[in-house]
Structures are given as structure tokens and as C-alpha cells.
Amino acid sequence: MSGHRVAVIGGDGIGPEVCREALKVVAATGVVLDTTDFDLGADRFVRTGDVLPDDTLEELRGFEAILLGAVGPAIGDTTIPPGTLERGLLLRLRFALDLYVNLRPFTGVPGSIAEGCEFVVVRENTEGTYAGEGGFLRKGTPHEVATQGSVNTRMGVERCVRFAFALAAHRPERRLTLVHKTNVLTFAGDLWQRTVNEVAPEFGDVALEYNHVDAACIYLVEQPRRYDVIVTDNLFGDILTDLAGAVSGGIGFAASANLNPARTGPSLFEPVHGAAHDIAGKGVANPLAAIHSAALMLDFLGEDDAAARIHKSISSFIDAEQLGTTSATSAIGDAIAERL
């Protein structure tokens, strides 16, 4: 039986160990994956100087999906210039594969600030300040200038906004909140707000709201229940989803799907957390974010049934365990697999 062709990039730190648990749980659903491991990340870079060779990128295009653990050098590692792996591997994949939606769902676990809340952040994933526009003038002189622009195309904003509206339209609450900073970012903010306003009539049953990003940070902590679907730009989405992770029980639970909704190539699924080198190899990393990310992958591959079973198993595990009772990485993977 041939399975879904999935590329696995375990990456650095706890990445490989959490991926292992995610694949264990997928196997337990009965969904067959035909996986290929890719040796990419800090070790590979230190060994060979390669971050993401062009031919490897081309090879990755041939898969249905990519499961990624984490990339990033250990804190204090001075052999790898800061950002080399993040930009050269992760961001390059997001841009090259046109993964224009970064979908980050949150469910507040028992005891968390957002306990009982369930919301999703749709983060634009290929533009904004991440696009790399800008540069230096007079570098190294007392009159040095550094600019870092935010790139917002009508096409890029609109496709992301449409995705968010369509997602909201299929949820019980049907609410969409644009988060931006339109009072200050008058060009980018104006384009986002106009785009949202113009698309809105096509989704007449979706209630539309707007929050400034600073206010959204307060609301996420004080009234997380007010959110259903949030749509926002790349940098605001990066920051907001770390905050959303923290109020929902910790970044160890936060999953993400980097989607190419047009399906012109593979989409990429990864936990929001990083490589956490300090706990790597100790068998104590929380694999739930990776397992949840694998469920998002199955969903996108059309295996809705298996995905739903994993979601249910994760929530029943979290409810039953009252968090922290089981802390071993592989024991958590086993427990999720058993509850399927």
C-alpha cells in the first residue's frame, strides 16, 4: 500500500524527538505515510556549510507535505551566524513553496488564562517585514541608516484575507477580527483594512471586527473569549501567536500549518516552538505541538477522520492528565496513540 509522500525535517534540538512521536501517532491512526528524512539544520550546516541546497529544495517540491521539528542553533553557539538557519531554511521554504497562510489554532488548556477558549490565528506568511526589503546606508559610520520595509501586496493580502473569511464562515461563531495598527501604519494598514472591507460582502454571515495589535495583546490576556478567527500580517502574527501560546497553556502545545492553499506544492507543518537545545535528548520535550501539527497535516491531506481522532485524543489526554503528570516525550506519544 502506498502512502502519502511526506518529507520529514527533524532539524535541531528537540525537533527529531517530537517528530518521532508525531509519526508514531499518525501510524497508530492507520494512515500510511511514505516518509523520507532530510538531514537539514544546524548539524548539517556545521558539517557541510549547506543550509538548503537548491537541488534539495527542488526535491522537496515533489512531496505532498513536509513535517518539520525545529531549526535553530543552540543559544551561545557562535559558529552559526544568527538567523542563518531561520532565514535560510524555514523562511526560504515558506517563500519558495508559497506557503502564504500560517494557520495557528489555539485551545486554552485547563488552568491556562484562555481555558475553554478556542481560536485560530491566520498569519500572512510570505510578506510584511519578513520579505527582506531594506538595507544599510553608510554602514559602520556614525551616520549609519538601516531601513526595513514592510511589503504588502494587494494580491498577497487578499488571498490571505479570503482564506481567513472562508475559515471563519465554516466555524460555529463565524467571527473574524483583523488585527493591525492602522492608526500608525497608514499605508500597510490602509491596504489591509480596505481589502478586508472589500472582501467582507462575499461573506455576509461573518461578523467582522478590528483591533489594534497593542489592544489585541491586552484582550488576549484579559478576554481571550472575544476571538474566533484573527487575521493579521506576518510580524504581528509572529508576536501574537507566541502570546496566544502562552495564554493557552504554553508554547509546547502550539501547532502550525504553513499552507499553500492553491496546492501548487507541498505545505509544511511544524510546532510553533523552537529547538529548545537545553532539554534536547533528555526525553522530556512536550511532543503535543508536533503531534497536533501532524493532525493538521492529515487534515490537509484529506485524512479528516484520522485528524479528528488525533485532536480528540489530545484533548482527552490533556483533560485526564491535568497537565504534567506524564512528562516523558515518548510516554506522551504512547498515551495519545492509545487513546485514539
Judged by CB under 5 A, the stretch of 94-102, 107-115, 238-246, 325-333 that binds Mn ion is: 238-246
Long-range contacts of 304-313 (CB under 8 A, 24+ apart): 306/26, 306/29, 306/30, 306/31, 309/29, 309/340, 310/25, 310/26, 310/29, 310/336, 310/340, 312/339, 313/25, 313/337, 313/339, 313/340
Q: Please say which residue, 11 or 189, places its beta carbon nearer to ligand IPM.
A: 11
How far is residue 234 from each of residues 14, 27, 152, 153, measured CA to CA in Å? Answer: 25, 33, 10, 13
Verify binding: residue 17, ligand IPM, rule CB under 6 A. no
Residue with cell 497593542: 214
Half-sphere exposure at residue 83, Cβ-oriented, CA atoms within 13 angstroms: 4
Verify binding: residue 238, Mn ion, rule CB under 5 A. yes
**Nearest residue relative to Mn ion (C-beta):** 238
39 is known as an active-site residue: no
181 is known as an active-site residue: yes
Query: Per this entry, what is the length of the chain?
Result: 340
37 is known as an active-site residue: no
298 touches, from Mn ion, ligand IPM, none (C-beta below 5 to 8 Å by class):
none
Judged by CB under 6 A, the stretch of 48-56, 86-94, 221-229, 279-287 that binds ligand IPM is: 86-94
Verify binding: residue 270, Mn ion, rule CB under 5 A. no
160 touches, from ligand IPM, Mn ion, none (C-beta below 5 to 8 Å by class):
none
> What's the CA gap between 328 and 234, in Å, rounded?
33
Cβ of residue 103: shortest distance to ligand IPM, in angstroms? 12
Cβ of residue 86: shortest distance to ligand IPM, in angstroms? 4
Closest CA to 289 of 21, 45, 43, 94: 21
Name 335's Cβ contacts closer than 8 Å, sequence gap at least 6.
Answer: 317, 321, 326
Q: Please say which residue, 188 or 306, places its beta carbon nearer to ligand IPM.
A: 188
Q: Please say which residue, 86 or 98, places its beta carbon nearer to ligand IPM.
A: 86
For residue 63, give the 3-state DSSP assignment: coil
Instruction: Read off φ and ψ for residue 162, nearest 5 degrees.
Output: -60, -40
- Contacts with ligand IPM: how many residues (CB under 6 A)? 5
- Given phi > 0 = left and psi -120 to 50 = alpha, else beta, which region is 267? beta
For residue 53, give the 3-state DSSP assignment: coil
| Chain CA centroid to CA 144, Å | 35
Judged by CB under 6 A, the stretch of 74-82, 83-91, 142-150, 299-307 that binds ligand IPM is: 83-91
Q: Please say which residue, 91 or 332, places its beta carbon nearer to ligand IPM.
A: 91
139 is known as an active-site residue: no
Please tell me which residue in 37, 190, 214, 305 is annotated as part of the active site. 214
Binder among 238, 285, 301, 309 for ligand IPM (CB under 6 A): 238
214 is known as an active-site residue: yes
Site residues (vs ligand IPM, CB under 6 A)? 86, 90-91, 238, 272
Task: Write out the residues near Mn ion by the rule CB under 5 A.
Answer: 238
Q: List active site positions.
A: 130, 181, 214, 238, 242
